Amino acid sequence: MSEVSRLKISLKNSEHTLRLAMPIGVATAELCDLDYEQSDDDELERTYLVFREDGFELLFDHGQLSGVFLYLSPNRDNFPAFGGELNYLPRDFFVEPCAQRFIDLLTSQGFMQSERKFPSSTDMLDANVRLRYQEGPTGLMVFLDDGNRLR
């Protein structure tokens, strides 16, 4: 597994290592100390693991991790803001999120801004990962996936 595909999520009292395409059983074992709710969409073959108390959510397509949602502000679904850090973004970024700082932090790590532009979001890509900073009606969010839809 390449270091680039690893996601290290650090919370107050724990640290967890995930990777894109990780099977759901492996991910739930890695995160067994956290409370979560599971929601299945059988038609799309998707599963959502919702870590409501920690402000993040995992998306699995066909049983493999395909996306991570980190909520930067409380939203209408009663998620608190994510209070941890990600190996790509330090804890202080999550305390005071800012689109320009998001761009600067990721550019310094070799990410490039996507040529496709969207009015309320910014996409940063490297060879394996896309991180999206989004300002939407439900609040601020960072989304992470493999970026294949933008490549």
* This prediction's pTM: 0.90
Closest CA to 81 of 54, 112, 42: 54
Instruction: Examine residue 151 and state whether it is found in any structural domain, yes or no.
Output: no
Closest CA to 60 of 30, 82, 38: 38
Q: What is the mean pLDDT of residues 10-30?
A: 93
Instruction: Examine residue 99 and state whether it is found in any structural domain, yes or no.
Output: yes
Q: What is the mean pLDDT of residues 114-122?
A: 90
Q: How many structural domains compose the chain? A: 1
Q: What is the mean pLDDT of residues 5-28?
A: 91
Domain range for 61 is 3-145
Instruction: Examine residue 138 and state whether it is found in any structural domain, yes or no.
Output: yes
Instruction: Examine residue 98 and state whether it is found in any structural domain, yes or no.
Output: yes
Residue percentage of the chain with pLDDT more than 90: 74
Instruction: Examine residue 69 and state whether it is found in any structural domain, yes or no.
Output: yes
Q: What is the mean pLDDT of residues 135-143?
A: 88
Q: What is the mean pLDDT of residues 88-93?
A: 94
pLDDT digits (tens, 9 = 90+) for 121-136: 999 999 999 999 999 8
pLDDT of residue 150: 57
What is the phi/psi pair of residue 122, to 5°?
-130, 125
Closest CA to 48 of 58, 56, 61, 34: 58
Q: From the CB of residue 118, how many other CB atoms can be counted at a distance below 10 Å?
A: 10
pLDDT of residue 151: 45
Q: d(Cα 65, Cα 42) in Å, to the nearest integer?
A: 16
pLDDT of residue 75: 72
Mean pLDDT of the chain: 90
